[in-house]
Structure 1
């Protein structure tokens, strides 16, 4: 059996991508602080860094999620990847940048679903599995999470430069982390493909998993840049996979403000439209929200948050 945490190899991963994939150089590092930071620094040092440059890491020790949250996992237990996107001048309207994390979420969720796991999307930047029995060895009796879902992957999209345009897309997908490892780390609402009973041959071969994820990210990037029907299909798929739309939520905003209501839609820039309890409607953006929780609970999940 393949060692699921064996080091990745860039050349063999690249060989698994579909023919015609428009990808830049791919490299793999062992331990790093943050692949997003590494790629951003590379671009700042050399603005000629190629479009769609890809960096993977076996382990991140000072990685950041949304709002600067920290997270970590055993080396080799995730697919940790960052991709530098450099759309040409005028190729992507600035208003479209805000929905990129949501669209990347579709790519990551679809890669996870390809392993047999029912991955869903929590607005704005998490891939989750809704509560239900786990399918990994010894995990059948796990308690319900505090939120009604467990976090499978997190996404962090950062604009590095506006002129020239440069965006770093970072993803951390939990592959082989066990329930025992989550428990030892004090992560009460995290999960992994292995815990959720993914097709084990896929989890064992992280190259295939990383290639599937990267190829879908590249597809999303093309649709994001090109617009049109492909982009509309992605937006529709996000709604189909959403674990947030149609549910009652509490948005915690800066300054201590709380907004409670039902998440009913997304606007054209990735903002969440909430039908508030006072009968109005309000759109919140990822930059506005400190926490977005189901009305029934609150807390922390692991992966990239």
Structure 2
């Protein structure tokens, strides 16, 4: 048991039941996404929160394994039933990313950024990532599983698979960060901004765009049909990355692997490919 454990009783006191009706804090699971999916199939309500102190088979986008020592991170999946038009689907990941940035800023003062489409970054290194899975009926998103893995209190340099590209809040600040108030701040920010999915989608999209540090950088996007290099110029209304090639062509990238290149064209230390998909579901 860690001193910084995620106490379910304290979480219940901090989070209103009308917004977050079901809170589960589990010592160890294969994946919080798997648990959330199972609960969704059994009819669990909108606002269900699944937390774990450790995942044995945590995953990021494209099936990549998510590594985090027990009791060190925020590993959480939210079950939402948004009834959202499919053309706003990318806004679910946008909502989650902006909530994480707001929560981090509230608790630590750090002004973190987003790497398109779903990474949380600080000083060019990955702090965390989002994974959005959805169920679509007709032209509506009826179920969304919004997963978050956030490195809080461990040193990724101790892990060969993470050393070159990742960081944590503890490394950024030089001190541990209490996870429970951080989680509460993230969920409060998400609940505050969630109505914008329906009432102000353009404003939510604009806020997400403003938080993406990938824009204005030279990138390589590797797709099933080949690699595309150019300037990450913008994101379109579907969340796709718009890349301007050296010939001046503007390509809307919905699927691929994006690597940010420094100005000198060399490989950046943090340039491990991150899955790129303008439509959040895998």
TM-score normalised by structure 1 residue count: 0.79
**Is 1:14 the counterpart of 2:6 in the alignment?**
no
**Is 1:171 the counterpart of 2:138 in the alignment?**
no
Unaligned ranges ≥5, structure 1 = 131-148
State the 1:21 CA deviation: 6.2
CA-to-partner distance for each residue in 1:8-62, whole Å, 9 max, x for gaps? 1223113223x68622211100111110111112222x1x210111100001110
* Alignment counterpart, residue 196 of structure 1, candidates 172, 175, 183: 172
- Asked if structure 2 preserves the Cα contact closer than 8 Å seen for 1:98 and 1:269, the reply is yes
SS of the equivalent of 2:88 reads: helix
How many residues align? The count is 264
Tell me how far apart the structure 1 counterparts of residues 8 and 80 of structure 2 sit (CA, whole Å): 19
Note the 1:134-145 alignment, pairs <5 A: none
- Asked if structure 1 preserves the Cα contact closer than 8 Å seen for 2:259 and 2:273, the reply is no
SS of the equivalent of 2:39 reads: helix
- Asked if structure 1 preserves the Cα contact closer than 8 Å seen for 2:196 and 2:203, the reply is no
Q: Could you list the runs of 4 or more consecutive aligned residues of structure 1 that deviate by over 4 angstroms after TM superposition?
A: none
SS of the equivalent of 1:32 reads: coil
In structure 2, the residue matched to 1:271 is 240
In structure 2, the residue matched to 1:28 is 25
SS of the equivalent of 2:248 reads: coil
- Asked if structure 1 preserves the Cα contact closer than 8 Å seen for 2:242 and 2:251, the reply is yes
**Is 1:125 the counterpart of 2:97 in the alignment?**
no
**Is 1:113 the counterpart of 2:101 in the alignment?**
no
**Is 1:240 the counterpart of 2:210 in the alignment?**
yes
In structure 2, the residue matched to 1:68 is 63
Note the 1:79-98 alignment, pairs <5 A: 79-88=74-83, 92-98=84-90
Instruction: Specify whether residues 296 and 24 from structure 1 end up closer, same or farther in structure 2 by C-alpha distance, changes over 3 A only.
Output: farther
SS of the equivalent of 1:299 reads: coil
In structure 2, the residue matched to 1:104 is 96
Tell me how far apart the structure 2 counterparts of residues 296 and 103 of structure 1 sit (CA, whole Å): 33
